[in-house]
Structure 1
Amino acid sequence: MRTCMTAGTNYSVRDEIRDYWSMRAESFDLSPGHEIFSETERSAWHRLIKKHLGQGEGRRALDLACGTGVVSHLMHDLGYAVTGLDWSEAMLDKARAKSNTRGSSIRFLMRDAEATGEDEASYDVIVTRHLVWTLVDPAAAFAHWFNLLKPGGRVLIVDGDFVTQTWFRKLRRWLDAAVNRFRPAKPDPRGDFRTQYQSIMSQIYFRQGARAPEVVRLLQGAGFEPVIVDTSLGEIHRAQGRNMPIAQFLDRATQHRYAICAVRPG
């Protein structure tokens, strides 16, 4: 259930984000694009990570907004000593159960990705997937991540603009509107999720969409250099698409998605 904010309370947008993802936790791993459903996709993720971060070989990795631990386990596969942080205890329950089943040595903690409480210069790499678009204060978050990295450390951000209406989404909305003129309206089963999502989106920095150039600008402002944008994610998206309805795949394929690798000079 959504926790309602009332006058005089300290309920913040960060609490609202936590509660939203806690509601999503039970079904999170059922969706392609969240959990990994093929070795083809897993291998594609491994190649992307190695391309930008290299092999683990005992290096320390921090997975921010780790959710159910999908990316944490990808990093663990490559030899990293992984800590996964998430703001939702419900997500972490799933991550820990998965880790126990797989016998992995990942450390999972409930922390805010924008203020982790971790020691400065204690990580070789930081990785995030679909976190940056939800940040309340990305400039402060990036400065914090910069300080968490050792000199020469790297952050890999996998994210996108999930707000801007693509040509496919506009077409689909037009077709849905045309069809709905001739059939009774049905209640939206995602109503509770959609209402809270819209409330969160009205309060976060990237409410107009997390475009790569703005993310790069903020990373550079935090001191990262160089910052490299990689949009060649087709291998991952095609593997995910094999487990998606065609409309969902086309929606995903036409979005502005990217991986950004940024280095703390050292």
Structure 2
Amino acid sequence: MSPRPGAESGYGAPYSALARVYDQWMAADRIPYDQWIAFTEKRFHEAGFAVRTILDVCCGTGMGIRTLQEHGYEVTGVDASEQMLDIARARTAPGTELLRLALPDERISALGPFDAVLICFDGANYLAGDGALATTLDQLARTLRPGGLLLFDLSTRLSFEAIAALGEFGEDFGDFAYLWNTRHEPDTSSYEYLVSLFVPEGELYRRSVERHPQRCFTHDEVENALRGAGFTDLAVSDNYTERAVTDATRRETWTARLATGSLPR
């Protein structure tokens, strides 16, 4: 799920090539979409108002959108990858609004108002630039109705360190294969993943390499960015459960509410 296309000399933009194998890869990893939706709906039911309209940021191939639509919600999707959105257009309900926007982007503030905003599966970790998280949260706050909900997840430093410790690794799925390398400058929060994808083309394989810049955030960074954007009632739990976060948490799930006195700025 990709908020920003950052093609660099020799590298493809995130998910430009991976889009074609993304769903197969996620199915093999048994990504728990149903658990994510169940947790999200519980937060909606606790909101004190009927959640009807949702903005799905970093919507990817539309798996989450389709499930939410099946549950009766009206969903707009945003992603930076046109290739991912092409798949989402074929999967989601006819007429679904799907927009290519890289975050942060002031144009997203003109959407809505929505009852809720979602950023699932590490999408917020791609906000790797200086101030990008705070700027994006400020822009998303303007898309929400007063009292509206924001729900997003973040991979923790522990998760990044565990992946970096693997060094180079890969997997052969039969009809495609990949190699994964992590670059990390010591004593920083920034990580860079280089993902090489190999797909068959005749008797040979075509190689595409994508650069995925991400970063981890401290609780203070997240809380300050949320409060600065006008959010309140902040809560964080362990990976779409009711469990409290611990030093062993690999993915945190954050929820917040836009202050009821907030107005579009």
Match in the other structure for 1:146: 141
Match in the other structure for 2:19: 25
Structure 1 position 164 matched with structure 2 position 174: no
Aligned 8 A contact 1:53 1:156 in 2: no
Alignment of 1:172-191 (within 5 A): 189-190=179-180
The whole-number CA distance in structure 2 between the counterparts of 1:224 and 1:210 is 17
Query: What 5-or-longer segments of structure 2 have no aligned partner?
Result: 170-177, 182-193, 197-208, 243-247, 261-265
**Are the structure 2 counterparts of residues 193 and 50 from structure 1 closer, same or farther at C-alpha, using a change threshold of 3 Å?**
same
- % identity of equivalent residues: 22
**Are the structure 2 counterparts of residues 33 and 134 from structure 1 closer, same or farther at C-alpha, using a change threshold of 3 Å?**
farther
TM-score (norm 1): 0.66
Match in the other structure for 1:221: 228
Please, which of 86, 99, 103 is the counterpart of residue 93 of structure 1? 86
Aligned 8 A contact 2:118 2:152 in 1: yes
Structure 1 or 2: more helix by fraction: 1
Match in the other structure for 1:127: 118
The whole-number CA distance in structure 2 between the counterparts of 1:34 and 1:213 is 35
Match in the other structure for 2:68: 75
Structure 1 position 210 matched with structure 2 position 217: yes
Aligned 8 A contact 2:236 2:252 in 1: yes
The whole-number CA distance in structure 2 between the counterparts of 1:118 and 1:36 is 34
The whole-number CA distance in structure 2 between the counterparts of 1:28 and 1:157 is 20
C-alpha deviation, 1:104, in angstroms? 5.4
SS in 1 for 2:60: coil
TM-score (norm 2): 0.66
Residue 156 of structure 1 aligns to which amino acid in structure 2?
A: L
Q: Deviations over 1:144-200 (max 9, x none)?
A: 01111110001110221266313x974x56xx9xxxxxxxxxxx8447626743xx5
The whole-number CA distance in structure 2 between the counterparts of 1:61 and 1:157 is 13
Task: Point out 4+ residue stretches in structure 1 off by more than 4 angstroms.
Answer: 33-37, 55-58
Q: Deviations over 1:80-132 (max 9, x none)?
A: 11000111110001111112xxx455321212232244526611100011211
Aligned 8 A contact 2:108 2:140 in 1: no
Aligned 8 A contact 1:64 1:113 in 2: no
Structure 1 position 110 matched with structure 2 position 100: yes
Residue 131 of structure 1 aligns to which amino acid in structure 2?
A: G
Aligned 8 A contact 2:109 2:142 in 1: no
Considering only aligned residues, what root-mean-square deviation do their CA atoms show, in Å?
3.5
The whole-number CA distance in structure 2 between the counterparts of 1:152 and 1:71 is 23
Aligned residue pairs, count:
210
Aligned 8 A contact 1:61 1:81 in 2: yes
Residue 16 of structure 1 aligns to which amino acid in structure 2?
A: A
Structure 1 or 2: more strand by fraction: 2
Q: Deviations over 1:182-241 (max 9, x none)?
A: xxxxxx8447626743xx53xx6x3xx234442222112222101110215369xxxxxx
Residue 193 of structure 1 aligns to which amino acid in structure 2?
A: V
Structure 1 position 46 matched with structure 2 position 41: no
